[in-house]
């Protein structure tokens, strides 16, 4: 049984992580830390856990009592926490913030479709960003084949949970409902990890990834529409993607159009490719809280401990 600790347990990603781990047959949660909620039941903050666990949030914890620690605090806080705490030998770490996605401090970038074997051997894993996951999955086969030869154009829309649990003007229901907007055009922070990994696969790639993110009128999910010049015909491109993702546990290429309802509440990523003249269009869909965050974190935990990659993640999308 894998003994698990969670730091920063009150946010959306932590709530999804707890839900997955409570139902994971080979994991047991030892503690969930939250200073502001210490003494409260987990289900008081994460209502979906009502009836599943009677655990309380804590403000003190024993790192020697766990096998793996998930860091779910805000961006920038993981590095601070690491500097202030001594990690016992043998305790593995999975960080869901952006602090170590540059693979500093011994962390491995935790995108299984890119680094599966390295993750298996890792002691520390930096979970990818949600937009970065969807966009990289749309581009990795081209980069691996040396076929990224021109600028890449991305428009991607995310649900309101992507902004986190803390309320703001652009997450308020009255503003978000029946609305859509662009934010951080061409400057989104996930461009750093996207560019870094594409160049690792294709060192000669020196063109722009033009990314326009959008806020959608829904709670969860990401749809990324990606296109770039490609010399392959449609059939060859589809085969390239299908072959690349054949070993993947959750990423699949489909001949039909893809949409969010096929992946929301699952750890799946679905891709659809189509050729238009000299351009290849790839549509990538994921659940931002699962394959884009907590589900991928559990997938990485499974790899790190030599388990079946799908353990605890055999989730089904709703029919409606």
User: pLDDT tens, 292-320?
Assistant: 999 999 999 999 999 999 999 999 887 77
Residue 159 CA to residue 176 CA, distance in Å, equals: 10
Catalytic residue flag (residue 130): yes
pLDDT bin (cut points 50, 70, 90) of residue 164 is: low
Task: Give residue 32's pLDDT.
Answer: 98
- Grouping H, G, I as helix, E, B as strand and the rest as coil, residue 53 is coil
- What pLDDT score does 174 carry? 75
Fill in the DSSP letter of residue 291.
T
Tokens of residue 33, six digits:
């830390």
pLDDT at 162: 76
Looking at the DSSP assignment, which residues form a beta bridge with residue 224?
A: 156, 284
Helix spans in the chain (H): 12-22, 42-45, 77-84, 112-121, 130-144, 173-176, 190-201, 234-245, 294-304
Catalytic residue among 58, 72, 130, 230: 130
First to last CA, the chain: 35
Distance between CA 211 and CA 297 in Å, rounded? Answer: 25
Q: In this structure, what DSSP letter does residue 155 have?
A: E
pLDDT tens digits, one per residue of 224-260: 999 999 999 999 999 999 999 999 999 999 999 999 9
Q: Could you read off the pLDDT of 5-18 as tens digits, one per residue?
A: 999 999 999 999 99
The set of residues, in sequence order, having a beta carbon less than 8 Å from that of 88 and lying 6+ positions away, is 63, 64
Q: Which of 165-174, 281-290, 306-315 shows the lowest per-residue confidence on average (mean pLDDT)?
A: 165-174
Q: Quick one: pLDDT at residue 34?
A: 95
- Calpha distance 4→69 (Å, rounded): 6
Cβ neighbours around 236 below 10 Å, total = 12
Is pLDDT at 166 greater than 70 in this prediction?
Answer: no
Averaged pLDDT, 264-279? 98
Percentage of the residues of the chain whose pLDDT score is greater than 90: 92
Q: Encode pLDDT of 114-156 as tens digits.
A: 999 999 999 999 999 999 999 999 999 999 999 999 999 999 9
Burial class (CB in 10 A: 0-12, 13-18, 19+), 39: exposed
Burial class (CB in 10 A: 0-12, 13-18, 19+), 79: middle
- Residue among 45, 58, 98 at smallest CA distance from 74: 98
Task: Dump pLDDT digits (tens) for 35-54.
Answer: 889 999 999 999 999 999 99
Say what the pLDDT of residue 163 is: 64
Strands laid side by side in the 108-109 sheet: 27-33, 2-7, 68-71, 92-95, 124-126, 108-109
d(C-alpha 187, C-alpha 67), whole Å: 37
Average pLDDT, the chain: 95
Residue 77 has pLDDT above 70, yes or no: yes
């Amino acid at each position: 049984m894998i003994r698990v600790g969670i730091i920063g347990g009150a946010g959306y990603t932590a709530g999804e992580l707890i839900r997955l781990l409570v139902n994971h047959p080979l994991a047991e949660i030892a503690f969930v830390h939250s200073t502001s909620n210490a003494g409260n039941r987990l289900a008081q903050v994460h209502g979906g856990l009502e009836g599943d666990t009677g655990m309380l949030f804590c403000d003190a914890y024993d790192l020697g009592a766990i096998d793996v620690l998930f860091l779910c605090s805000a961006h920038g806080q993981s590095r601070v926490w690491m500097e202030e705490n001594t990690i016992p030998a043998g305790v593995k770490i999975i960080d869901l913030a952006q602090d170590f996605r540059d693979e500093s401090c011994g962390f491995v970038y935790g995108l299984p479709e890119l680094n599966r074997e390295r993750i298996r051997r890792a002691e520390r894993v930096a979970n990818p960003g949600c937009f970065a996951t969807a966009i990289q999955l749309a581009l990795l086969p081209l980069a691996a084949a040396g076929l990224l030869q021109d600028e890449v154009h991305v428009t991607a829309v995310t649900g309101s949970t992507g902004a986190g649990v803390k309320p703001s003007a652009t997450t308020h229901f009255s503003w978000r409902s029946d609305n859509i907007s662009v934010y951080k055009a061409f400057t989104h922070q996930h461009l750093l990890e996207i560019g870094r990994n594409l160049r690792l696969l294709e060192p000669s790639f020196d063109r722009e990834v033009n990314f326009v993110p959008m806020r959608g009128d829904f709670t969860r999910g990401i749809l990324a529409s990606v296109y770039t010049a490609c010399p392959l015909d449609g059939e060859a491109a589809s085969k390239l993607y299908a072959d690349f993702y054949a070993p993947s546990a959750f990423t699949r290429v489909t001949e039909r159009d893809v949409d969010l309802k096929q992946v929301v509440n699952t750890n799946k990523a679905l891709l659809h490719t189509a050729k238009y003249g000299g351009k290849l269009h790839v549509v990538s869909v994921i659940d931002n809280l699962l394959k884009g965050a907590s589900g991928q974190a559990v997938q990485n935990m499974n790899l790190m401990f030599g388990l079946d990659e799908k353990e605890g993640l055999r989730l089904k999308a709703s029919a409606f």
